[in-house]
Amino acid sequence: MLEQIRIFEDNTLAVEVIGGFTKTDEKFCQKLFEKKLKEGYVQVNILVKLDEMKIKHTSAKAFMEDAIYAFRNYKKIGHLAIVAHSNIMKALVPIDNLFFQRASKGRYERYFDVSQMDEAIKFVSEKKK
């Protein structure tokens, strides 16, 4: 199940995956993202909290379709904060940054432990100077 954990008035989305990630969740997430783009934002900053996510309850098809959607809209994604309690996720984020060369475009993906939620929100909602 996907929940919007905070509503921002700017170009920021904050969602949490609880239990599994389904086709319905995928569509809901895309709807939230598209709404921000329709509001006129060129890029959308995203915080995704995954500490309650259960892989065994996640639809592989929904996960893959969401990944394809993200690749297609890659340039429209600004800062990305992954909030979890996972050494695997912590290790994958720097690899993503290298692979997609996000930092070279002024966009970053960062991992935050669940205890750093306030820092993660600040990271995705900070204004470019």
Structural domains in the chain (count): 1
pLDDT tens-place string over residues 36-84: 999 999 999 999 998 776 666 777 888 788 888 988 998 899 999 999 9
b/e for 67-79, b at 16 or more Cβ within 10 A? Answer: eeebeeeeebbbb
What rounded mean pLDDT belongs to the chain?
A: 87
Give the mean model confidence (pLDDT) for residues 92-117: 80
Whether the predicted pLDDT of 94 surpasses 90: no
Whether the predicted pLDDT of 124 surpasses 90: yes
Contact between residue 79 and residue 124 where contact means Cβ atoms under 8 Å apart: yes
What domain range includes position 16? 2-125
Contact between residue 115 and residue 83 where contact means Cβ atoms under 8 Å apart: no
**Residue 61 and residue 67: Cα distance in Å, rounded?**
10
Q: What is the CATH number of the domain that holds 16?
A: 3.30.750.24
- Measured over the CA atoms of residue 93, residue 99, residue 100 and residue 101, the dihedral's sign is positive
